[in-house]
Amino acid sequence: MSLIDKTHPLSRYHRDDLNRGGRSDSELARQWGLLEVISELPAGGVIAGSYQTVRLRYRVGSLGLDEDGGLALSFRFVSDVSPLQTTDPQADNYVSASTSGSADIELRFERKGSRRPFQRTLRVNVRNAGFTEGDEITLVLGDTAAGSRGWRQQTFVETPFPIRVAVDPFGTHLYQGLPRDLGWNIVAGPVARYVLNVPSHAVVGETVTLRLKAEDAWGNPLRDTSDGVPGLTLIKDGTRRPLEAPGRHDRGVWSYRLDFDEPGSYFFEATGETPSMSNGVRVVATAAELPEFGFHWCDLHGQSGETVGAGTIQDYFSFGRHFGFLDGSVHQGNDFQITLPLWEEIKQASNEAYQPGVFVTFPGYEWSGTTAMGGDHNVIYFEDDPPIYRSSGWLDSHPFEETAPLTELYRVLKSHNAMTIAHIGGRPAALTESDPEVEPLVEIHSAWGTFEWVYQEVFKRGFKIGFVCGSDGHKGRPGASYPGAGVFGTLGGLTCVLSKTRDRDGFWEALRRRRTYGTTGQRIVVETELNGCPPGAEVRAAQARIGVRVVGTSPLVAVELLRGTEVIRGVYPGAESSPDTLLLRFGGARVKGRARMVPWEGRITVSGTVIADAAMHGIYSPMYGITGQNERDLGFSCVTTGNLVNLELAFRDGLFGRLEFVSNVTDLEFELDSLGRQPTTLFEAPLDQRVEALVLERKGLPLELETAFELEIDHIEEMPYFLRVTQLDEGRAWTSPFYVARP
């Protein structure tokens, strides 16, 4: 809890506002003044997401502080620390100011008050007079005097959390950065859940590793769990037994070496107040029974503090491998922030993190052209020392086109072993053009949201393209990118790369051939082939058989086959049984760009029946969920960004009676006995905004499902066929399409 030393690894970035003129820190402080933290914050660090009161004192320097001059305290775009407010002293996040001089202070918080990445800014403006050397301004961030809980801190761990400080002594609106930032450490809170991970497949007798970590409510891993963990349970075919295996602890991760003596699907559970279950491992009798390609879990898109994120590039890869339980990752910084020296660091870090057989990386960056230029595209190289082709150098003192528009990027990349992935994040790819020589894949889910509208557009335009999902995480947590409390709306996604080897050669070949599928962050195993061909393949056949085996991480609600945008076949477990549960699903997006978030605030009221039990799924932030419940009604609060959430409701007297859904988006009423096993759409609007309901038998939902779809191919034009899997927890998976035509 101090000024951040200028030797901090990230201090050399984003400091173009600092003009030292050869002067020392002490001389700059004498002239420009000094801002200090004067309150006592927890010595061990501030718990992520907690409410605090932070007192700051600025002592005016020899230049003084003229009328219309002031201070600027800037927070990074990536930080989800609560915006400060100046109007309601009883509400949270209230900031107040007092002075020892005769001038007045006006406070104003601006969402984009300073240059990226330190955009969110508290302005401390001087009014009606000026300050002289030695005068003091005291700021109370999270003033609790009138009843506020304080100022909510950012929800992800960081050492330190930085605040950029600048001063304008002359009232020119030209702010000069003080030589050191403010900062304090953000640390993880208490254990909220355990995350367990096993490989997707194994052979009887083969030794595999079960890994376990503890997370707080915001998804931060606890770095010290050496005191132990709850008991572990092995689950197979509904039978449970204690797992007795010695564990080894390493920096917050426990590892257990296991082998299996018979085939089947195995799951593991950490028992405790909140039981946590692993993904499933499908164990086969012999290696010949394994799928042709290995299942390798990757986050191909995220960035760190050198651009707009948090932490260092080295931290990014280390987290992905150790805490993200990933098999591979790619760093994707915004190109207009990447200088040539930084590009050298990115390449070096990417190459150093690569460990064949263990962890696969590629050098890469995000080509961040405006929508008019073609929109965001991830660039990945199968080269150790490639050049960077930026869309522009807008934040690198070169505000001009460099390699643009998108067609020019495609052209220059053809001379390299390179590919692009159309990216839908804050700034979506325009999707007006695609070059199959360079661009084999498109992203349909990230922490920004779910983008099923993307495949609707690319199919309409005739693009032949596969599917991936990633995080586009800015918090330095690839493989575990939780939304927190800011602009991100959901859990970051994962890409399963289907490759015979865990190395660059194998992954590159799989990516180029579209042999991938994406999930909303869960490690859902989807084994599928069409007439013996893997996802992404081009198939010519008069008849097609699509075999499917799914091992979920939550009970399975639907396995659907789509041709283009149309669901043509589906398996809905429990359809023939007696339904006992209502699933009310809602979500969607407002627009395709950054402002896509849809808030949902409302209540459900029932008549003619009584609510016996309720749960809300698809929520990954403790800010949201069920807000109150009794026998007749319950409240809910959440946000969606293209994804869906659901309310799972059981009723004491069965599925009879009437339900009223009242929200800020839409109001609905319906009879419970009017619903079927497949979703009934009750409300819909563009970009997948909808409310739908279905009924099911809760105990009839399996974790594993095997089926096949038999088709007659009656079209000579090539058409995309792909699978979509939906779980009870709203986890989803989309396979890359098979491109099929009749010969």
| Residue 168 near residue 32 (C-beta atoms within 8 A) | no
Spatial distance between the Cα atoms of 135 and 257, rounded to a whole number of angstroms: 64
Q: What does the CA dihedral 475, 619, 223, 163 come to, rounded to 10 degrees?
A: 40
Give the bridge partners for 183, in sequence order. Answer: 2, 162
Spatial distance between the Cα atoms of 694 and 674, rounded to a whole number of angstroms: 10
Place of tokens 């009723």: 651
Neighbours of 186 (CB within 10 A): 24
Spatial distance between the Cα atoms of 117 and 334, rounded to a whole number of angstroms: 11
Three-state SS at 460: helix
- pTM of the entire predicted model: 0.95
Spatial distance between the Cα atoms of 487 and 506, rounded to a whole number of angstroms: 35
Q: How far is CA 276 from the centre of its chain?
A: 20
Place of tokens 């559970």: 269
Angle between helix axes 313-322 and 340-353 (nearest 10 degrees) is: 20
Place of tokens 């983008």: 451
Q: Give the phi and the psi of residue 273 in degrees, each rounded to 5.
A: -60, -35
Whole-number pLDDT of residue 193? 92
Whole-number pLDDT of residue 1? 46
Whole-number pLDDT of residue 271? 81
Whole-number pLDDT of residue 427? 84
Whole-number pLDDT of residue 614? 97
Closest-CA residue to 327 (of 509, 528, 504): 504
What are 160's two structure tokens?
């330190």
Neighbours of 190 (CB within 10 A): 9
Start-to-end CA distance of the chain, whole Å, equals 69
| Residue 428 near residue 434 (C-beta atoms within 8 A) | no
Mean pLDDT by 10 residues, the chain (743 residues): 54 61 82 88 93 96 94 93 97 96 93 89 95 96 96 95 92 87 92 95 96 95 78 92 90 94 95 83 96 97 92 96 98 94 96 98 96 95 97 84 95 98 89 95 96 94 96 95 93 98 98 98 98 98 98 97 97 83 96 93 96 96 96 97 97 92 97 91 94 92 96 96 98 98 96
CA distance readout (Å), 385 to 324, 344, 417, 572: 27, 8, 11, 49
